[in-house]
């Protein structure tokens, strides 16, 4: 399955969930979820942003933990 990077939520999504979106810098891929969220009320948009921030922080934490684990498991080089 082809995955594309969403510039809005900074996550890879399956291509069928993505749409090309015109920005000031040209066309970029954006997920349908973020496009729908942009049309909501200000409070709902803010809630979506906080939720996405929490997801990104959790993903970064898990990635950092995985990297630390890999470094501990890597044999010492001579």
73-to-10, 33, 60 alpha-carbon distances in Å = 29, 38, 20
* Backbone CA torsion sign across 56, 61, 62, 68: positive
Question: Which pLDDT score, from 0 to 100, does residue 77 have?
Answer: 63
- Write down the domain spans for the chain: 3-73
Asked if the model's pLDDT at residue 75 lies above 90, the reply is: no
Q: If pLDDT is split at 50, 70 and 90, which confidence band does 73 have?
A: confident
Q: What is the pLDDT of residues 25-69, one digit of tens each?
A: 999 999 999 999 989 999 999 999 999 899 889 989 999 999 988
């Amino acid at each position: 399955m082809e995955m594309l990077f969403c510039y809005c939520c900074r996550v890879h999504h399956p291509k069928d969930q993505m749409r090309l979106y015109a920005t000031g810098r040209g066309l970029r891929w954006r997920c349908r979820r973020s496009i729908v969220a942009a049309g909501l009320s200000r409070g709902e948009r803010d809630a979506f942003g906080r939720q996405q921030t929490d997801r990104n922080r959790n993903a970064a934490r898990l990635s950092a933990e995985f990297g630390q684990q890999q470094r501990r498991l890597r044999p010492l080089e001579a």
